[in-house]
Structure 1
Amino acid sequence: MSAHPLLRVEGLRVALDIGPEVLSGVDLTLDPGEIVGLVGESGSGKTTLATALLGHARPGARITGGTVTVGDVEILGLRPRELRRVRGGLVGYVAQDPATALNPALRIGTQLAEMAAVHLRGREVTAEVGAALEAAGLPSDRAFLRRYPHQLSGGQQQRVLIALAFLPNPRLVVLDEPTTALDVTTQARVLASVREMCRDRGAAAVYVSHDLGVVRGLADRVAVMYAGRVVETAPLGALFSSVSPPGARHPYTRGLLAASPDVAVRGAPRPIPGHAPSVTARPPGCAFAPRCVAADALCRTETPGQVEAGPGHVVACHHPLSGAVVPSEAAVVQDVVGEPLLRARDVSFSYGSQRVLHEVSLDLREGAFHALVGESGSGKTTLARVLSGFGGNVTGDLSYAGEPLAVSGADRPAELRRRIQYVFQNPYRALNPRHTVAEILRTPIRHLFGVPGDEARRRALDALGRVALRPEIAGRRPGELSGGERQRVAVARALVCEPSVLICDEITSALDVSVQAAILELLTTLRRDGLTVLFVTHDLGVVRAVADEVSVMHRGRIVEHGRTDDVLDDPEAPYTRSLVTAARGAVRQTW
């Protein structure tokens, strides 16, 4: 660290209005031009810390102590009027969801001009706006500036947010999970934009993410958070090293690494046992102790202080570990040679006059774990929905177990609707928020099998057990559950139907790596029990970890298909090669 860091956070505390602390004395420093990755599971305090750097706390919370200094400006001591001037001008912010961060009623050019009018008084606004857009990899012509947000792709929307954040030339930029829902190539372009703009404009950045692969390809240094504290901080090379220096030292950091799939190496991600504590139920001593195999009486009673583990490497642990992270066991992969259970032949689909699928053929073999990958807009979700019976304007042939299968689910026999189940990407929108989990699960049981109340409840509890959820979850509503718990309930709702085919649409894209590992472990177990899985995803690391076969979609066509290892190790289609290159982080070479 330099003698004059750009950002200095000391003893930062944020508490809920009802009393418990969300952040408990966080310290963090950041040098000019440096990118720090802030990682941890949901509820660890990442976003709370990120927004506190702008002097903000969400409704129901307040900043209760500490300092946040950017350059020579102490953020937390500013009056509201001064704080508004600092936000954007001194500290920029890139939100996770551009659909909510951009005004849908204003053109892109208008939104950029408004930012410039506030922070670039007396300067050539048009030139500055054009330079910011071009630096973010976007066109700056009049046609683009006249577009509305909904007329842009997700990646373009996210890069508009990046251009807005960098437009006033802030000294610090805070990015809150801006690539979570993006496909691998779009993500690579967005990350390249961030790196180049930090380098060219001399800005430092705090990059919040639950994806260690993203952080590994972007950051100079990593800070790991758990239960409102920074438990480990290290230079990138030190944290990910498997030789010398000794790599991650905190058991939690090592757990995150073991749970992260790697596109280059086939291995079964290992979930971290247990659950992260809620803000209102954090244990005494080390908050990670209930999940740590190395914990002892000292860990359960005394909060660990920070100790030096190497140059710039600090860990808050009573018993820091050393040595390489134990490699994941090789995932079980089999050659699936059976007859196709679900088959599509020359399937085309259109939205009005726009063709989305172009004569697609796909065989989903019985017992297979089949991955369907591609960029956003490639048609993979559309194909999955057609197979599930959600399609309307479809041509081509579908079959199940050798028998013709109606395109519309309404025209399929109830038995076939039961056998092909679909798990949606967003469980919060897919589950009735007014019903308890027990009601959500009992409804399809009663509808499909006509069983009485007590038997329906027993089957519902059995389904919760299959997805590793506690029985008390049955009495809760979706809003009372974590994202990972909601996703498991969605899987359980499909399982109570006793399906033969489970179609999963990006169900791990927004999950922490540990929760993702638990869901993948669950699906792998179910597959061993005879379930056939079609897994739609943009994460090639996940594909490498669990899939037997993979089909690659591009512009509504399948451009490559084969055994997972064959496709990822030696891709033939140029598009597949571009996906694999992006997933392996080759864009980092431009840094």
Structure 2
Amino acid sequence: MAAVLVQGLRVSLDGRDVDVVDCVDFAIKEGEVLGLVGESGSGKTTVGLALLGDARRGARIVGGSVVIDGQDIVSLTPARLTALRGSTVAYVPQDPSMALNPALRIGRQLTELFEFHQPDMPTAARDERIRTTLHEVGLDADDRFLARFPHQLSGGQQQRVTLALAFVLRPKVIVLDEPTTGLDVTTQARVLSTVRELCATHRVAALYVTHDMAVVAALAHRILVMYAGRVVESGSSAQIFGRAAHPYTQALLAAVPVVSQRHELVTIPGDTPSPGRRPGGCPFHPRCADAVPECAVTTPEPVEVGAEHTVRCIRAAELAAGTARTAPRIAAAPAGRQDEVLLRVSHLDAFHGTRQILHDVSFELARKECLALVGESGCGKTTLARSIIGLHRKHSGGISFRDNEMAKHARDRSLELRRAVQYIFQSPYNALNPRRSIGETLREPLRVLFGVPSAKARTMVAEALERVSLSPSLASSYPSQLSGGERQRVAIARALVCRPEVLVCDEITSALDVSVQASIVRLLRGLQDEEGLALLFVTHNLALVRTVADRVIAMRDGRLVETGHVDDVLDQPQDPFTRKLIAATPEFGAAPVLSREDRT
């Protein structure tokens, strides 16, 4: 029996006959994980919120049904919905720091759930449930941990606390909205294992919303692929990753890097159409390599191409029966580092208060080179990056650009040096000034660094937005009107307008779709070749490291434990920690083989 049954779901912009999602049908069984994938703007989060009877601001559910635990939640009153959320349907957000109350201790936040939803539960039973759930998500359950505030936990611990908050009331359904986006690979592996085990143990039906195809391959029993508000392909994990039939699904898979092999990431031309601007016929046809004239005028209906494998494409049967597409083209090995060293870090020690974070860190970054820096959360990667850019001053040792020592504080550096060494922050939500439009954000460095007049700056802003696959029309928008992926691309564009020589990238692709990630990787590679740009690429995505980097450094507890050519390190890691990172990286080949009994 299905724990969730969604039929004919339609969500429209409030007061306008413009669909955000339409004709969405699916079911989730008890204990099953259903992956929901697609680019930003495809409607994934909208569908996830609909399972809570909610819609984003400016939209509302206008059609269809969402039946959970025998209730159609679309027809429930606000009071009934409030009682249902958290107890029957739980939600795990992308950013745990935004979900946890910074003023309340962890124990208090867990206790509040029982006081609201199950006030009659005896105190002893409630406390036992809290401690048991914390153990289930891999956290301490002692009084010291319960007394901590969220800011005293790592990102991975915060995310596992949100999992505990979701599972502690034993809901029937859980919606997970990109919950591992900002986590390192080992923490991500623990979180995914926890989700899998808790859903199986407590027979919870889960909807896992993500843009990370490798993650969903390792976790989900079945997968829905969304584009422009509709499900364009659905099937088992093995069917989607082994026999994808929709051109959009095939294009997404071609854009995904893998840790075992360097290959060219294939970008998808164009952008996902926004609600109200979706073309007639098949909405994917303007971007589709397999489109025929009929695609522009015929709205495709779902076609079954295998057992429980459905594709919304007028050429579905033909494409499914045809020969498999050729494997992604193997990328050429890096040409090798240049002799011209731009950035040199020598015997760097860094501190937070009295605690030493970095220990004797030394490396060089040459012109046209991409040096990847990998490691678990808390190992010191961001402290190192911020020290280089002049945002972390409590350090000793040397940091030089073109053999000239750089001042510890960014404000003490010349405008020319600040232009030459640019930084892209990890969080797209905190990187942009919410009171400035996108155009103002991009024009400011042009004015300060180059004295560009306003008329010319507008043209340069439009060009900068197009370089990162954004429409120039977004120049008049504000950060709050953009998705996380769009904000990150604006942050990348802001750095690139400065024409830097060294670019420090701190987890810049973690919030991006695989297709946009592929376009950004291609853009950065082009800048390396054409302008000699050097990249310090801080990331937890080892699969991306294989594709983008020339050399790689593995860091643990503030120390460099292994360094070398990227292929040497990833193919034959010498340090046990590096081997652990590689083993924890999800890959298509790691997708579980699940029997029908496992899925029921």
Q: Fold conserved (TM > 0.5)? A: yes
Q: Could you say which residue in structure 1 is the equivalent of 2:342?
A: 341
Q: Could you say which residue in structure 2 is the equivalent of 1:440?
A: 441
Secondary structure of 2:276's aligned partner: helix
CA distance in 1, matches of 2:448, 2:528: 25
Letter in 2 for 1:312: E
**Any conservation in 1 of the 2:213–2:253 contact (CA below 8 Å)?**
yes
**Any conservation in 2 of the 1:14–1:62 contact (CA below 8 Å)?**
yes
Stretch deviating more after TM superposition (206-215 or 16-25) = 16-25
Residues 550 and 295 of structure 1, relative CA distance in 2, 3 Å threshold:
same
Q: Tell me which of 292, 295, 298 is aligned to 1:296.
A: 292
Q: Tell me which of 39, 47, 52 is aligned to 1:54.
A: 52
Residues 219 and 465 of structure 1, relative CA distance in 2, 3 Å threshold:
closer
**Any conservation in 2 of the 1:306–1:316 contact (CA below 8 Å)?**
yes
CA distance in 1, matches of 2:42, 2:170: 30
Q: Shift of residue 494 of structure 1?
A: 2.5
Residue correspondence of structure 1 range 92-491 to structure 2 within 5 A? 92-117=90-115, 118-119=117-118, 121-122=120-121, 124-241=125-242, 247-320=243-316, 321-322=319-320, 323-332=323-332, 333-336=334-337, 338-427=339-428, 429-457=430-458, 459-464=460-465, 466-467=467-468, 469=470, 471-474=472-475, 476-491=477-492
Letter in 1 for 2:118: H
1:37 aligns with 2:35: yes
1:13 aligns with 2:4: no
CA distance in 2, matches of 1:51, 1:455: 43
Q: Shift of residue 470 of structure 1?
A: 5.2
1:108-130 CA distance string (max 9 Å, x none): 11222222342374462122112
1:505-529 CA distance string (max 9 Å, x none): 1111111111111111100111111
Q: Shift of residue 563 of structure 1?
A: 0.7
CA distance in 2, matches of 1:347, 1:169: 48
Q: Shift of residue 184 of structure 1?
A: 1.0
Residues 116 and 499 of structure 1, relative CA distance in 2, 3 Å threshold:
same
Residues 75 and 155 of structure 1, relative CA distance in 2, 3 Å threshold:
same
Residues 546 and 106 of structure 1, relative CA distance in 2, 3 Å threshold:
same
Residues 345 and 91 of structure 1, relative CA distance in 2, 3 Å threshold:
same
**TM-score for the superposition, normalised by structure 2:** 0.91
Q: Could you say which residue in structure 2 is the equivalent of 1:244?
A: none
**Any conservation in 2 of the 1:420–1:500 contact (CA below 8 Å)?**
yes
Q: Could you say which residue in structure 1 is the equivalent of 2:67?
A: 69
1:373-423 CA distance string (max 9 Å, x none): 112211111111212222311200122223333333333333322221222
Stretch deviating more after TM superposition (275-284 or 336-345) = 336-345
Residues 111 and 567 of structure 1, relative CA distance in 2, 3 Å threshold:
same
Letter in 2 for 1:60: G
**Any conservation in 2 of the 1:264–1:584 contact (CA below 8 Å)?**
no
Q: Could you say which residue in structure 2 is the equivalent of 1:502?
A: 503
**Any conservation in 2 of the 1:258–1:325 contact (CA below 8 Å)?**
no
CA distance in 2, matches of 1:75, 1:220: 25
CA distance in 2, matches of 1:171, 1:178: 19
**Any conservation in 2 of the 1:371–1:536 contact (CA below 8 Å)?**
yes
**Any conservation in 1 of the 2:381–2:555 contact (CA below 8 Å)?**
yes
Q: Shift of residue 53 of structure 1?
A: 1.1
Residues 391 and 165 of structure 1, relative CA distance in 2, 3 Å threshold:
closer
Residues 544 and 319 of structure 1, relative CA distance in 2, 3 Å threshold:
same
Residues 69 and 448 of structure 1, relative CA distance in 2, 3 Å threshold:
closer
Secondary structure of 2:219's aligned partner: coil
Q: Shift of residue 471 of structure 1?
A: 4.9
Q: Shift of residue 287 of structure 1?
A: 1.4
Secondary structure of 1:367's aligned partner: coil
Stretch deviating more after TM superposition (182-191 or 403-412) = 403-412
Residues 283 and 533 of structure 1, relative CA distance in 2, 3 Å threshold:
same
Q: Could you say which residue in structure 2 is the equivalent of 1:81?
A: 79
Q: Shift of residue 80 of structure 1?
A: 3.2
Q: Shift of residue 484 of structure 1?
A: 4.3
Residues 501 and 122 of structure 1, relative CA distance in 2, 3 Å threshold:
closer
Q: Percent identity?
A: 51
Q: Which ranges of structure 2 fall in alignment gaps of 5 or more residues?
A: none
Q: Shift of residue 22 of structure 1?
A: 1.2
CA distance in 2, matches of 1:15, 1:360: 53
Letter in 2 for 1:564: V
Letter in 2 for 1:569: D
1:547 aligns with 2:543: no
Secondary structure of 1:348's aligned partner: strand
1:78-134 CA distance string (max 9 Å, x none): 333333333233222222222222222222112222223423744621221122111
CA distance in 2, matches of 1:307, 1:175: 28
CA distance in 1, matches of 2:483, 2:90: 29
Residues 201 and 455 of structure 1, relative CA distance in 2, 3 Å threshold:
closer
Secondary structure of 1:26's aligned partner: strand
CA distance in 2, matches of 1:480, 1:95: 19
Letter in 2 for 1:76: V
CA distance in 2, matches of 1:569, 1:87: 46
Letter in 2 for 1:25: C
**Any conservation in 1 of the 2:468–2:519 contact (CA below 8 Å)?**
no
**Any conservation in 1 of the 2:40–2:485 contact (CA below 8 Å)?**
no
1:573 aligns with 2:571: no
CA distance in 2, matches of 1:329, 1:372: 26
CA distance in 2, matches of 1:478, 1:82: 34
Q: Could you say which residue in structure 2 is the equivalent of 1:526?
A: 527
Letter in 1 for 2:162: L
CA distance in 2, matches of 1:474, 1:226: 25
**Any conservation in 1 of the 2:219–2:591 contact (CA below 8 Å)?**
no
1:276-303 CA distance string (max 9 Å, x none): 0111212222111121122233322222
Residues 201 and 472 of structure 1, relative CA distance in 2, 3 Å threshold:
closer
Q: Shift of residue 493 of structure 1?
A: 2.9
Residues 97 and 462 of structure 1, relative CA distance in 2, 3 Å threshold:
closer
CA distance in 1, matches of 2:469, 2:199: 43
Residues 144 and 480 of structure 1, relative CA distance in 2, 3 Å threshold:
closer
